[in-house]
Each structure stands twice: as C-alpha cells, then as structure tokens.
C-alpha cells in the first residue's frame, strides 16, 4: 500500500485564485514558502529599455520602502526585476511574507497602473455574478496573504491566468545539484 503524501491546504489554491481575480493586473503569483517570499508578476505591453527599467525598479522600490516606513515596518526581502522580450516587459516584485500586506498590494497595483495606464496588461473581465461583493473579495485577499504565511505550507505554487481561467500549480522542490565538471 502506498502512503499518501500530505496534501497542501486546498484553501491556498482557492485563495491564490481569489488574489488573481481581485487584481486583474497581476499576471502571476508565485509562493515560495521555503524562503518566506511571494513573487507578483505584471506584464507591460511594450519592451522597456534599460533606462525605463531602472525607472520602474526605482519607483516601485521607493514606494514600497516609503509605505513600510509609514507603517513603521521593515522589509526583509524586496526585489524588483524587469525582463523584456521583443514586445513585452515582465515586472517581477518579490516580497517577504512577514511584512507584506493587502494594502501594500493595492499600492503596488496602483503605482504600476499609473506608470503604464494603457500598457499594463489586465485580465479580461469575467462574466459578472450577482453575488460578487468587493468587501468579500477584500476579505479573501487578506485571508490569502495570511494563508501564504502559514508555516504548514511546504510546497511552492504558482498561479497564473490563461485566457479567462486561473490555473494554480504546485511546484516540485528542487534539490541543488552539484555542477558537472568541465573537461
């Protein structure tokens, strides 16, 4: 008889979906419990040059640091990276879960919307349901962030959009392998 591995909390998957539904500007969310961080990826519908990337990185870092200063909090992890391909730029914001909050996420989305009012990729609106309530969505976002902090979470996961669907995958932990010798 095969022993079953412990199943990660199904709430976490639902809550990652709730984050992506509430914030259509977020292209993907990646939870990394091993190092206590979360990564949010945003997509800009144009290739940014080095100067524009530096401006985005500086603006996001300044806003997050100022936000945390106002809350009398400190960040253990703040990284902003910009990756460009031919037609798009991916803005990755990595934050530690200890100091991260829903209000910071609201601020971050707002900053990126101001920087790229027309170029920030937003998810197409799903069909509205009569029971959709912004207050309930806000509570789910708070709960999602708390759930990501749960020390019982051991697997990394990534949630992203594909057309009008949200997909969430658990990532296998990768052991660091020794580099092969070159001859």
135 inside domain: yes
E-strand spans in 126-183?
156-162, 165-171
Other residues' Cβ atoms within 10 Å of the Cβ of residue 23: 21
Find the angle CA(123)-CA(129)-CA(135) to the nearest 5 degrees.
80
182 inside domain: no
- Answer for the pair 144, 16: CB distance below 8 angstroms, yes or no: yes
| 24 DSSP 8-state letter | T
Q: What is the pLDDT of residues 29-61, one digit of tens each?
A: 988 888 889 999 999 999 999 999 999 999 999
Structural domain total, the chain = 1
156 inside domain: yes
Q: What is the pLDDT of residues 150-181, one digit of tens each?
A: 666 667 767 777 767 777 776 665 544 443 33
Name the residue range of residue 155's domain. Answer: 10-171
């Amino acid at each position: 008889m095969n022993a079953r591995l412990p199943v990660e909390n199904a709430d976490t998957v639902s809550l990652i979906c709730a984050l992506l539904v509430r914030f259509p500007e977020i292209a993907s969310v990646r939870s990394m419990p091993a190092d206590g961080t979360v990564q949010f990826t945003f997509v800009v519908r144009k290739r940014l040059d080095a100067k524009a990337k530096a401006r985005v990185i500086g603006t996001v870092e300044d806003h997050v640091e100022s936000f945390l200063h106002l809350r009398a909090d400190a960040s253990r992890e703040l990284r902003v990276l910009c990756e460009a391909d031919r037609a798009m730029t991916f803005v990755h914001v990595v934050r530690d879960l200890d100091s991260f909050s829903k209000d910071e996420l609201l601020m971050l989305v707002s900053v990126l919307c101001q920087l790229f009012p027309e170029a920030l990729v937003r998810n197409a609106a799903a069909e509205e349901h009569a029971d959709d309530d912004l207050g309930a969505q806000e509570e789910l976002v708070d709960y999602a962030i708390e759930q990501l902090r749960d020390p019982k979470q051991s697997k990394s996961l990534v949630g992203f959009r594909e057309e009008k669907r949200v997909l969430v995958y658990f990532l296998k932990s990768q052991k660091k392998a020794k580099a092969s010798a070159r001859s």
